[in-house]
Structure 1
């Protein structure tokens, strides 16, 4: 490791080595707390919430509280990068950029702790964004309620944009999302006697194809939705008719009403499979995330502010089917989320993603400067 690295790039690399699942970010929490303890403490207050952290920097003449959120958890993905700072937790990786998000958050906190704003500032290091969802319970916690910001901001890395690009939009940015788990139970048997059994692999195959007709045949063509089944399990051996099968997937929609419609159609299709194949079925929607809806005025104000910066290319992007539990915070607190360009050919949740680390210090400067500017506004 060279000696010329930014301290926050070093921090990102340290955090990249220790990805942890949601609500199990114990090493991550300890690392963040150890760093936070090195900052000037005269205006700093720190609270733990489960495996997350809330930090408040008291302002010099506060008239409001400005907030920032950084997520913490990793993903169950085996890393395939070329890094020499590989994940030390087999089967887990920071494949969604939360290592960068935390390093940027620490950089912003450092800037504000060393030179406090006029306004109070709160940063939330939030666990379990990838599941089962940490934003909503953190938002509802007594610790957060006592320090509730009047405005909140977050970012997410974007592999498709060059470093120096920030993309966002007023209004809808990310979709409503829901997990989807469907279990089918029939009757197993010998492969040579299918008439004496009730094959749940065949039932699952029919269900899979029927699910794909919901978007194409039940939704307005001008509406937007996605149903993706990413995993199917069924059977135990090639010559045994499967007694059970399981489909695991996700639903994405741009409106809450469309989400309700999609789920009602899924339930109708599954009921039809039960009747057609004489099986029993159950549906579990798992974690549901609220859409990310940016405050119109604050987002436009931010984009106008960005346009004056020579180091940033501001882009108004289209909405994405991405899911983010930060949407729960934006449903309760005015604010916005934006994409941060990190210029890598591999997408989010890919085992080979290698975000450009130059984006870290750029983001720290930009976010810190924005909060300083915002704190000076009436």
Structure 2
């Protein structure tokens, strides 16, 4: 590994990241971002497939020597959040910002493209660069990338998430489950409107919805094995327009997170049962739209072991065994197809005031985490190729 070149590429990463941070785009709308990435890859002479799932890009670098094919992935989408940071690279798009570090992921992968394209003749095997749209919203962009051939002939895949809950200089992952599955639901309750002073003449959808919120919470607390982590959250409830009017309709939406597929299936079944039963008990009608989202992200143990063994001596990071977390990631789809590992690279730094969590209006990263991520990914690829020489 040429660490000096990676260090020299660090200002390039910062430049890419700050440009993308100023110009964020929402999921499935990453048109300008995709054009920016494609333009730089074309300048490097990298083979490209563009327009996947609308804005996705697959780049391929063919090495000058025989060997394995290793894939790296970055996500490109931003979030519908108003940027509240006071800095010269704050978002210039009202109501949209990179509040999860995807700009840093994209910048890191662009730097890796520069690193490997400049030394093609030395590279053993091939390198696949996956710039994916729409990680933040289901159905996500990973499946369209896979369907377009992103993993054709790929032997292993690596990805990182720049992660502010852990400090700069640290990297965490886990063998097996690292991130949860996610399913979403929307419930429409229909009652009978009426006067607030005459509730006996109406069917109150808000009261039915209130009871339903409490009943849904009992699914995890009373039906799920306490040794199987699971979360059911009602994120929104909307009903009624005036203080003296009984609402005829109320809408709830929520999310379910877990790691075990049997638990996931059971919760989906019980949500439907509880919704139907509670609505009937209050004389209301109910309609539920239940969307199955990303599967749990399951790292391959051999690739986790590779990360843990080389993160310190090769990348200068402190490796830690990460506890599984309930946020979801559609990198999970890639890991269902080929071996690989997803790593949380520390990006928080209290000394620099980088303390805000992901999806917060003041979210930022310690940009040195991009150099750490790039060094780690190069080290993991080299370790894999050394172990699997043709």
TM-score normalised over the length of structure 2? 0.91
Q: Any conservation in 2 of the 1:112–1:368 contact (CA below 8 Å)?
A: no
RMSD of aligned Cα (Å): 1.7
Aligned twin of 1:346: 356
- Tell me whether 1:55 sits opposite 2:70 in the alignment: no
Aligned twin of 1:129: 135
Please state how far the C-alpha of 1:148 moved relative to its aligned partner: 4.3
Work out which of the residue numbers 160, 165, 186 in structure 2 matches 1:181. Answer: 186
Q: 1:212 to 1:94 in 2, by over 3 A?
A: same
- Tell me whether 1:92 sits opposite 2:101 in the alignment: no
Aligned twin of 2:366: 356
Aligned twin of 1:336: 341
Aligned twin of 1:375: 385
Work out which of the residue numbers 304, 310, 322 in structure 2 matches 1:305. Answer: 310
Please state how far the C-alpha of 1:64 moved relative to its aligned partner: 2.3
Q: 1:5 to 1:109 in 2, by over 3 A?
A: closer
Please state how far the C-alpha of 1:287 moved relative to its aligned partner: 4.9
Q: Any conservation in 1 of the 2:179–2:328 contact (CA below 8 Å)?
A: yes
Work out which of the residue numbers 102, 106, 114 in structure 2 matches 1:102. Answer: 106
Distance 2:184 2:84 in 1: 26
Distance 1:62 1:205 in 2: 63
Structure 1: 5+ residue stretches without partners: none
Q: 1:287 to 1:157 in 2, by over 3 A?
A: farther
Work out which of the residue numbers 172, 192, 196 in structure 2 matches 1:191. Answer: 196
Q: Report matched runs for 1:110-129 at 5 Å.
A: 110-116=114-120, 117-129=123-135
Please state how far the C-alpha of 1:5 moved relative to its aligned partner: 7.7
Distance 2:66 2:245 in 1: 69
Q: Any conservation in 2 of the 1:118–1:376 contact (CA below 8 Å)?
A: no
Structure 2: 5+ residue stretches without partners: 1-8, 349-353
Distance 2:253 2:133 in 1: 23
Please state how far the C-alpha of 1:310 moved relative to its aligned partner: 6.5
- Tell me whether 1:161 sits opposite 2:163 in the alignment: no
Please state how far the C-alpha of 1:372 moved relative to its aligned partner: 3.1
- Tell me whether 1:205 sits opposite 2:210 in the alignment: yes
Q: Any conservation in 1 of the 2:76–2:103 contact (CA below 8 Å)?
A: yes
Q: Any conservation in 2 of the 1:131–1:287 contact (CA below 8 Å)?
A: no
Q: Deviations over 1:229-250 (max 9, x none)?
A: 1111111222221111111111
- Tell me whether 1:140 sits opposite 2:147 in the alignment: yes
Please state how far the C-alpha of 1:215 moved relative to its aligned partner: 0.9
Distance 1:88 1:243 in 2: 41
Q: Deviations over 1:177-209 (max 9, x none)?
A: 111211111112222222222111111111111
Aligned twin of 2:240: 235
TM-score normalised over the length of structure 1? 0.94
Aligned twin of 2:351: none
Work out which of the residue numbers 265, 269, 272 in structure 1 matches 2:274. Answer: 269
Aligned twin of 2:76: 72
Q: Deviations over 1:237-267 (max 9, x none)?
A: 2222111111111100111110111111111
